[in-house]
Amino acid sequence: MSTLINNTAQATAKSVSFKNDMLCVNLLDGREINVPLTWFPKLSQATTEQLNNWRFIGRGLGIHWEDLDEDISIEGLLK
């Protein structure tokens, strides 16, 4: 019997950065997610200071921007 493993359930962020209008998230398992900031209107219109004022939530299962009232789940980025 084979088992399908859901990799998104265990996906945990290690770091967050911004490059060329992209949100870049490095995961603990070595993967890197790069998505355009335009996917997130609040982020795309934020200042550099606001973008860099983030924190992990759920021990790396999501990212929160207090100044922008924005939350993004790692699982959502992988879908």
For 19, the domain range is: 11-78
How far apart CA 72 and CA 61 sit, in angstroms, is: 9
With contact defined as beta carbons under 8 Å apart, do 15 and 23 qualify?
A: no
Q: Is residue 19 part of a domain?
A: yes
Does residue 26 fall inside a structural domain?
yes
Residue 2 lies in a domain: no
Give the pTM: 0.85
> What is the per-residue pLDDT across 20-48, written as a single tens digit (0 to 9) for each?
999 999 999 999 999 999 999 999 999 99
- As for how many domains the chain has, the answer is 1
* Identity of the amino acid at 59: R
Asked if residue 4 belongs to a domain, the reply is no
Q: Does 6 fall in a domain?
A: no
Whether 77 contacts 13, CB under 8 Å: no
Q: What is the pLDDT of residues 12-21, one digit of tens each?
A: 999 999 999 9
Residue 4 phi/psi, 5-degree rounding, is -90, 125
Phi, psi of 76 (to 5 degrees): -65, -35
CATH code for the domain in which residue 35 is found: 3.30.2020.40
Residue 3 within any structural domain of the chain:
no
70 within domain boundaries? yes
